Homo-oligomer: A and B are copies of this chain.
Amino acid sequence: MTTLQGVTAAAGFSAAATTAGIKPSGKSDMALVVNQGPEFNAAGVFTRNRVVASPVKVSREALADGQLKAVLFNSGNANACNGTQGDADARAAVAAVAQQIGLEPAEVAACSTGLIGELLPMEKVQAGIDKLSGSLTENAGPEAAAAIMTTDTVEKQTEQTGDGWVLGGMGKGVGMMAPSLATMLVCLTTDASASPEALDKALKAACDKTFNTLDIDGSTSTNDTVILMANGASGVTPSQDELDAAVLTACADLADQLQADAEGVTKRVKITIEGTATDEQALNAARTLGRDNLFKCAMFGSDPNWGRVLAAVGMADAEMDPDKISVYFNDQPVCENSTGAPGAREVDLSGADIDVRVDLGTGGPGTAFVRTTDLSHSYVEINSAYSS
């Protein structure tokens, strides 16, 4: 199997990774991705949480003009909820990167992930930036993907090939995943030529269909960031449709990897809702079900307890006919007209993938799709011993 190059797969992007000592584990914890041009167009999507980490503020400002030349990453510390000192530290970090590699601070974005509420160890960060700046190469994508991991168990990379151009990327994220992103960092790079507007359109559409349908625990991080950079090094300008398709495929690929590696996951659950008035109502119902702990525990136990599906969707903000709800597990009917179907208790849910389809019975055209996971002992284990 060929090793993916991820964020350095596209021409004209270099990267570096290092161990700065931010993580107590001694694993790599800083990375830098640099766009060598000739173009520096970029787009970003950020957390909708009102409590926003300092690096998100810095990155939003850097991306405001649709131009970006580098992104600094660290894991092990989220630099969130650190007040004005946190903002100053994030700005100092991008300024140090800019100085080291000859850019303006406003051309550098920052992404952090890890514990909230601890100040960044700036001496270590500064030393890390010095090392990163001196070791940029065009094949460090895999090392960068490893350096942004927290409780991730595997690196997450993607590569898509267009007609004469390439789109690559890396991502991380294992918990706090909710429709408005996750403790999720994604960086996509392409050597296609594309305007900031084209990138923004492609990225927003892809996020809506991929990361925003991923709901592990209803929690939304303060640090979520997805960045897409394009340098035109291939000399090819794909159509908007071609760009949209490549970005969507890359995001879907990373979303699949994120779901598979979600904290404590033993089941990957895909929820489809049909038969309500609008897509928005269907999405409300899908999210309500995907966040219902009793339903998620039943999935962990491979238990075809369809009654919990009805109890959950019955609370959703969606039109439904309470007497005509149907539920299918792995395409087998388990509930029809809101009553149990023959053999419903014997449906086999022992596999790692479970499809749940619910028809809310109004005959309306609304549909929606959400990915979630089960609620397992490991989820509790991992998340009850995080900061201590």
Contacts and interface: CB of A to CB of B under 8 A. Distances in A.
Nearest to A340: B117
Given A297-B380, A310-B81, A219 B305 contact: no
Contacts of A377: 377, 380-381
Nearest to A344: B117
A295 to B, nearest CB: 8
Where chain A touches its partner, the secondary structure class is: loop
A222 B116 contact: no
Nearest to A223: B311
A52 to B, nearest CB: 7
A323 B83 contact: yes
A369 interface: no
Interface stretch (A9-17, A60-68, A184-192, A312-320): A312-320
A387 interface: yes
A117 B379 contact: no
Interface stretch (A200-208, A244-252, A286-294): A286-294
Contact of A387 (B48, B52, B305): B305
20 contacts: A49-B311, A50-B320, A51-B338, A80-B307, A80-B310, A80-B311, A81-B339, A83-B338, A116-B307, A217-B293, A220-B314, A222-B311, A293-B293, A293-B379, A293-B383, A298-B383, A302-B388, A303-B385, A303-B388, A304-B387
